[in-house]
């Protein structure tokens, strides 16, 4: 079963680190547990090439990164840019991730769009432009607006993603109005499908304006039943694409790592090429 399971970020998972693991050693330790990770810091700033060089060095040969697109490329920052300015920003992003690309360690580039990115002509054109600028890259698309999956547009959305060779990001998240999407279990790329689990905290999902909304939005611990519900869906996706990458983002209460470990157990998958575990004193 070609399923790679990991987490969104590697620094905030205390259950993975024994003893006093320093910040710059955490990825090495993380890579002894999971074969893939999301680089969530890339959303907030275009990272230095040197960081990617270190991350490549700190991980096994088969390890892979899902690298989030910078917020200026997805429209989260609400800045108005000319086409040339947007292209230059894309080039800076591509340059920064080059070490991971050259090492063959990019699982996908994740373009997660904001809740106000709805179905309309200019947004569809923006997606086409991204594909043109990233023609040879594995690009995953995650929507956060329900309009893409409404009955009137769902099939056309999936067809469009397939035509543009985008990787479909299937989401498990609260059904909490316009700014959330249903779990549409459909592959649009023959090589890969991405699944991201955000938890099911309906109460916390739309508290964006609250000062501690990040602390509650992803506060959720999946039950055994809820995790096992995904097994038939994963099997279906593997009939439609060669591999599935599953990332747990429900980490406000540090539940992501334990949930991911349970999912690995329930699926019965093993990973042979992980970093060696750190040995304790005894």
Residue 116, both tokens: 């106000």
pLDDT tens column, 54-93? 999 999 999 999 999 999 999 999 888 999 999 999 999 9
Domain that holds residue 168: 3-267
Using DSSP, how many helices (H) and how many strands (E) does the chain show?
12, 8
Specify if 62 maps to a domain. Answer: yes
Give the per-residue SS3 of 9-29. CCCCCHHHCCCCCCHHHHHHH
At 142-190, the pLDDT tens digits run 999 999 999 999 999 999 999 999 999 999 999 888 889 999 999 999 9
CATH number of 156's domain: 3.20.20.410
Chain-centre distance of CA 212, in angstroms? Answer: 22
**Cα 196–chain centre separation:** 6
**What's this model's pTM, rounded to 2 decimal places?**
0.94
CA distance 162 to 192: 12
Instruction: Give domain status of residue 251, yes or no.
Output: yes
Tally of domains within the chain: 1
CA distance 245 to 3: 6
Distance CA 127, CA 143 (A): 11
């Amino acid at each position: 079963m070609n399923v790679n399971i990991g987490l969104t970020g590697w620094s905030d998972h205390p259950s993975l680190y024994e003893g006093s693991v320093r910040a710059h050693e955490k990825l090495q330790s993380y890579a002894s547990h999971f074969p893939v990770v999301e680089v969530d810091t890339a959303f907030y700033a275009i990272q230095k090439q040197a960081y990617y060089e270190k991350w490549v060095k700190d991980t096994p040969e088969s390890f892979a990164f899902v690298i989030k697109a910078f917020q200026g490329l997805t429209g989260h920052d609400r800045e108005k840019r000319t086409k040339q300015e947007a292209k230059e920003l894309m080039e800076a992003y591509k340059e920064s991730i080059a070490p991971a690309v050259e090492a063959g360690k990019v699982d996908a580039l994740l373009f997660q769009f904001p809740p106000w990115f709805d179905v309309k002509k200019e947004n569809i054109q923006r997606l086409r432009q991204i594909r043109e600028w990233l023609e040879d890259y594995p690009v995953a698309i995650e929507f956060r607006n329900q309009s893409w999956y409404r009955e009137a547009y769902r099939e056309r959305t999936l067809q469009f993603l397939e035509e543009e060779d985008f990787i479909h990001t299937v989401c498990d998240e609260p059904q909490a109005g316009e700014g959330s999407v249903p779990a549409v279990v459909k592959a649009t790329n023959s090589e890969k499908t991405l699944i991201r689990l955000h938890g099911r905290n309906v109460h916390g999902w739309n508290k964006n304006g609250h000062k501690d909304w990040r602390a509650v939005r992803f506060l959720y611990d999946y039950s055994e039943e809820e995790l096992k519900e995904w097994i038939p869906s994963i099997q279906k996706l593997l009939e439609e694409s060669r591999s599935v990458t599953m990332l747990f983002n429900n980490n406000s209460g540090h539940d992501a790592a334990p949930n991911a470990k349970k999912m690995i157990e329930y699926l019965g998958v093993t990973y042979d090429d992980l970093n060696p575990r750190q040995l304790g004193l005894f």
